Amino acid sequence: MRALILIATALAMTVPAAAQETAASADWSFAIHGGAGTLERSRMTEQQQADYKAALQVALDAGAKVLKEGGSAIDAVTAAITILEDDPKFNAGRGAVFTWDGINELDAAIMDGNGRRAGAVAGVHTVRHPILLAQQVMEDGRHVFLSGKGAEEFAGEHGLEIVPPEFFATEERKKQLETLKAKNLSALDVEFKYGTVGAVARDSEGHLAAGTSTGGMTGKRWGRIGDAPVIGAGTYADDRACAVSATGSGEYFIRAGVAHAICDRVLLAAETVDTAAKTVMAEVGAMGGDGGVIVVGKDGAPVFALNTPGMYRGRATASGMSEVAIFADE
């Protein structure tokens, strides 16, 4: 009898701890972005705002579903990004911006915070989902960063979906290039926004992941590569600190090593993800760059930091948060 009581007491004592563990491990968290920029209410009709929000919600829900069902952070990131790549409203995959030479040149990266494995591709023209190609590079493990023809050869060898280059082209993006050339404008003048897409996730096992996919900047030349596929600039994940995906004037994000800088501040200076993201984005602003980041840390809800009037974004958590927003003041 005494033994039974002892066992019962021991069990009772372990229950709260076990329950706590379950609660903590189910604490998944997810965020997406569809680009930052001069997104102002006066520039967008109610209908446009509703269309963008609906598109963001679809991608957000797809990633959240993966996490809710116990899937991995990496799978949540690719679930959302493949949807955004197919949506011509965003500058990734179909609907990517045009280069100076009138083609679509795509960049993407993905990083697994568990072991800091990473894969990235730049300058691809025929791979329907560059984020899946980046993931394949990561899984293959021999290299981290592939570009151009070689990346496409690798895609073919690994059974990625190949499409004709025209698949990515839209009339609207073509017009933006024509306007940029005719009026000698900058990419932001014709687009009003950076339309790169990205996602960050923490899964129920506490692993973090980040992914980013983009067509770059309208009128880019000479094989220009932005920050999105550069590990540590536009994309970074480390289970010990945070996962980051960025959008904005890529050259500044590369120079500031934005995504890595944020995670370093969290890891080494024990800053919150919010403080770290805001501090680094302020540095980018001081250098002359603009844009935004989405960040998820080891616990808590995802955070956003931007120094533009808006950023297409959304976040969802295990505790029931599910929201999308466009303007900085939302």
Contact between 64 and 203 (Cβ < 8 Å)? no
Residue 38 makes CB contacts below 8 A (sequence gap 6+) with 188, 192, 193, 308, 309, 310
For the bound state, the minimum distance from the C-beta of residue 105 to ligand ASP, rounded and expressed in Å, comes to 10
Residues in region 147-186 near ligand ASP by CB under 6 A: none
Catalytic residue, from 82, 99, 196, 218: name it.
Answer: 196
Query: Kind and range of the H or E element at 270?
Result: none
196 is catalytic: yes
The one-letter code for the residue type at 63 is G
Sign of the alpha-carbon torsion through 298, 252, 36, 61: negative
142-170: buried (b, 16+ CB within 10 Å) or exposed (e) per residue? eebbbbeeebbebbeeeebeeeeeeebbb
**Closer Cβ to ligand ASP, 59 or 67, answer by number:** 59
Among 78, 82, 91, 114, binds ligand ASP (CB under 6 A): 91
Tokens linked to 40: 């102002």
Under the binding rule (CB under 6 A), the answer on residue 216 touching ligand ASP is yes
The candidate with the shortest Cα–Cα distance to 177, out of 120, 138, 216, is: 216
**Closer Cβ to ligand ASP, 66 or 228, answer by number:** 228
Residues in region 247-266 near ligand ASP by CB under 6 A: 247-248, 250
Under the binding rule (CB under 6 A), the answer on residue 123 touching ligand ASP is no
Under the binding rule (CB under 6 A), the answer on residue 213 touching ligand ASP is no
Among 132, 228, 277, 280, binds ligand ASP (CB under 6 A): 228
Active-site residue list:
196
Q: Which residues form the interface with ligand ASP (CB under 6 A)?
A: 35, 91, 194-196, 214, 216-217, 226-228, 234, 247-248, 250, 291
